[in-house]
Amino acid sequence: MQLQPILIDGQWRQADVAGEFRAENPATREPLEESYPVSSWRDCDEALNAAVAAAARLRGMSGAQIAHFLDRAAERIDSQRDAIVRLAHLETALAISPRLADIELPRTTNQLRQAAAAARDGSWALPTIDVKANIRSCFAPIGPVCVLGPNNFPLAFNSVCGGDFAAAIAAGNPVIAKGHPSHPGTTRLLAEEVRAAADETGMPTGAVQLLYRLGPADGLRLAADPRIGATGFTGSRRAGLKLKAAADAAGKPIYLEMSSINPVVILPHALAERAAEIVDQFVASCLAGSGQFCTNPGLVILLAGRESEAFLAAVADRFRTAPVGTLLAGGVASALAASVENLRSGGANIVAGGTVGGGPGHSFANTLLRVSGRQFLASAAALQSEAFGNASLSVLAADVAEASRIVESLEGNLTGSIYSSSAGHDDLAYFELASRLRPRVGRLLGDKMPTGVAVSPAMNHGGPFPATGHPGFTAVGIPASLRRFSMLTCYDNVRNHRLPQLLADKNPTGQTWRCVDGRWTHEDVQ
C-alpha cells in the first residue's frame, strides 16, 4: 500500500522513507487503515532549505498578508469540522462532542483568528522608539520554526494549526511541523486545509511543511540545525530534555512544555465552607479527557483532619463510580501504570483505582493515592513525578508548616492552586503557602482548578524548569506567545524610509501600540 505523502515546499509528495507506521484506534486497539512514512534526514534537509527561502520572503510581507492566511486557514478548518473531528475521534478516542467538535476545534480556529489579529495589528512586537536618539526596536521573525506537537490535543496544539503554529506564523516565520504519530490522519486533514489556505493567500511554498515522523537522531539534528530559528515542543520530559540539550548546544532557542503535576492546596476552612463544590471541581478537573492535560491536578495538598478525610472519601467514591475513559494510546496506559507504581514505591497508598483497564480499549482505573506529608518530604523526588492520565496523589500535611515545606520541595510547575475560605479564615495559611508556591509556578490560581487554559492575553501557560525550558515565556495567550518565536531587532540611525513599517514615523495601522519616548501610543512620531 502506498504511504501517505508528506508536505514539502508546497507539494504533497512521497517521503524519502526510513520506515512506516499506522495509527491505532485506542478504543478498539485496532490499527487504522492508512500508512504513514518515517522520513529520513533528506526530507528534513529539503524542508529546511524551503523554509529558509520562505523565511526570507515572509520577512518582506506585511502582517496583514500573514493575517489573511491565518484567517483563511481558520475558515477552511471550520468548514471541514465534521471530517476532522470524526478522524480525530478515531485516532485519539477523545469524545466528538463536546470535546472535539464543540471545545477543541473552536479553540483551534479561535487561536488562529487571534493570531491573525495580532499579526495584523503588530503591537505584539513591542515597537519601541527613542525619537531624539533615533534608535528604534521591535521583535521580529526568528527564522524557520520546528513545531513538535503533543498527543493530547490533536487539534488545538497540532503542529500544523495549533498554538505554536499560530504563534510562529503570526510572528512571521515558516513552520516545519512534525506531527504526533498517534494522530497522523487528523494532522493530514488539517495540513490539507492549511496548505490550501496558504496557496489561496499567496504564502511562500515553504511556509507550512509537514513530516509525520523522524528517527530520534534526526529530531535532535533538526532542533540544532543552523537553518532553524527556534523549536517549539510539547510532550514528555524525557524527549524534551534530549531536544533541549541538542538545541542548547547549538545555541538555538527552544521552547518546551514538558511536565507538570499542578499542585492544588485545599485549606480546611474552604472545605468546611463548600466541600461538595470543591469535590465536584476536583473530580471534573482530574477526570476530564481521562486526565490527559498538561494542567491536570496531579497533586492535592491537604491539612490532616476531619474535613480533608471527608473530602478524600468523597473523591474516592466519585472516582470509583465515574466511567473510566479511554487513554490516547497503549503507551499512555502503560506509562500511567508505571507512574502509579512509582508513586507506590515512594510510599503512597492507593485509595481508589490503581489497576489497568476498566474502560474501553486502553484504559486505567480512575486512581486516587494518598501519602503523609512526612513521607512526601522523605521521597519528594519520586512522589512528584508526573503520572499522566486519570490519577492524582493527595498529601496530608500535619500542619501549615509541613505544608510549607512540601511546597518548598516542589520543582517548577505550570500551575499551582489554593482554595481558601471566602471569609478570610484561611488567610494566614494562604499567605504562608502562596508566597512559597508563587516562584515555583507560572500561573497561581485562587479557588479554581488548573485545567481549562483560557486563550487570554494575560494567560501564562509556562513556568519554571522542568515544567518548561525558560520561565519567561508562555505557550498560550496571544500576543505574548508570539514573542517566543522572535528576535529583538534594533535600528540605530536608520533612515525612515528604510525602517520596517512598525518602526517608521507613521503608525502603520493607526492602531498599533508603540512605546514612543516611554509613552504607549497610537500616534505617529512627529
Residues that contact its own copies, how many (by CB under 8 A): 72
Task: Give, in order, the Cα–Cα distances in Å from 206 to each of 129, 180, 198, 233.
Answer: 33, 20, 10, 20
Tally of CA atoms within 13 A in the half-sphere of 407 that contains its CB:
31
Q: Which residues contact 10 (CB under 8 A, 6 or more apart)?
A: 50, 195, 198, 199, 205, 206
Rounded to a whole number of angstroms, the minimum distance from the CB of residue 34 to its own copies is: 39
Catalytic option among 104, 257, 307, 386: 257
Q: For its own copies, which is the closer residue by CB, 399 or 492? A: 492
For residue 479, report the phi and psi dihedrals to the nearest 5 degrees: -95, -5
Rounded to the nearest whole angstrom, what is the least distance from the CB of residue 144 to its own copies in the complex? Answer: 11
Give the nearest distance from C-beta 60 to its own copies in angstroms: 8
State which residue, 97 or 456, has the beta carbon closest to its own copies.
Answer: 456
Q: Which DSSP helix (H) or strand (E) runs through 408?
A: helix 400-408
Smallest distance from its own copies to CB 488, Å: 5
Nearer to its own copies, 239 or 250 (CB): 250
The answer to whether 294 is a known catalytic residue is yes
Q: What mask of x and - would describe binding to its own copies in positions 46 to 85, judged by CB under 8 A?
A: ----------x--xx-------------------------
Write out the binding residues for its own copies, residues 398-427 only, by CB under 8 A.
412, 415
CA 389 to CA 286: how far, in whole Å? 8
Binders of its own copies among residues 370 to 399 (CB under 8 A) are: none
Exactly one of 98, 493, 510, 526 binds its own copies (CB under 8 A); that residue is: 493
Task: For residue 181, give the C-alpha cell.
Answer: 504519530
CB 145 within 8 A of CB 176: yes
The yes-or-no answer on residue 34 being catalytic is no
Comparison of 235 and 253: residue with beta carbon closer to its own copies: 253
For its own copies, the closer CB: 32 or 250:
250
Residues 432-491 that bind its own copies (CB under 8 A): 434-435, 438-439, 442-448, 454, 456-460, 462-466, 469-474, 477, 480, 483, 486-491
DSSP-derived secondary structure for 305-329? SHHHHHHHHHHHHHHHHSPPPPPS-
Q: How far apart are CA 50 and CA 143, in angstroms?
A: 12
Out of 44, 138, 294, 386, the active site residue is 294
- Is the preceding peptide bond at 268 cis, omega within 30 degrees of 0? no
Q: What Rg, from alpha-carbon coordinates, does the chain have? A: 24
Cα–Cα distance between 478 and 461 in angstroms, integer? 11
- Tell which positions 110-169 bind its own copies, by CB under 8 A: 128-130, 133, 135-137, 139-143
Grid coordinates belonging to 15: 517521503
> H or E element: which one contains 297?
none
Q: How many CB atoms lie within 10 A of CB 40?
A: 16
Q: Is residue 175 within 8 Å of 209, Cβ to Cβ?
A: yes
Contact letters for its own copies, residues 8-47 (x by CB under 8 A): ----------------------------------------
DSSP H helical segments within 30-162, as ranges?
41-59, 63-79, 81-92, 105-121
Question: Residues with Cβ < 8 Å from 203, sequence gap 6 or more?
Answer: 54, 58, 66, 69
Name which of 39 and 481 has its Cβ closer to its own copies.
Answer: 481
Q: Please, which residue, 15 or 243, has the CB nearer to its own copies?
A: 243
CB of 264 to its own copies, least distance (A): 13
Of 33 and 523, the one with the shorter C-beta distance to its own copies is 523
List, as one string, the DSSP characters of 110-145: HHHHHHHHHHHH-GGG--EEETTTTEEEEEEE-S-E
**x-marked contacts with its own copies along 199-238 as a string, rule CB under 8 A:** ----------------------------------------
Per CB under 8 A, the segment of 80-88, 102-110, 349-357, 492-500 that binds its own copies is 492-500
172 near its own copies (CB under 8 A): no
Residue whose CB is less far from its own copies, 180 or 244 = 244
> 379 — phi, psi (to 5°)?
-130, 45
> Which residues contact residue 226 at a Cβ distance below 8 angstroms, ignoring those fewer than 6 apart?
250
Among 64, 96, 245, 377, interactor with its own copies by CB under 8 A: 245
Report the nearest approach of its own copies to the CB of residue 495 (Å).
6
Q: What is the amino acid identity at position 458?
A: A
* Residue from 89, 107, 244, 362 binding its own copies (CB under 8 A): 244
Smallest separation, CB 477 to its own copies (Å): 8
Pick out residues in 248-307 that bind its own copies (CB under 8 A).
Answer: 248-253
Least CB distance to its own copies at residue 441 (A): 8
Q: Minimum Å distance from CB 231 to its own copies?
A: 13
**Collapsed DSSP state (helix, strand, coil) of residue 209:** strand
Q: Annotated catalytic sites, by residue?
A: 257, 294
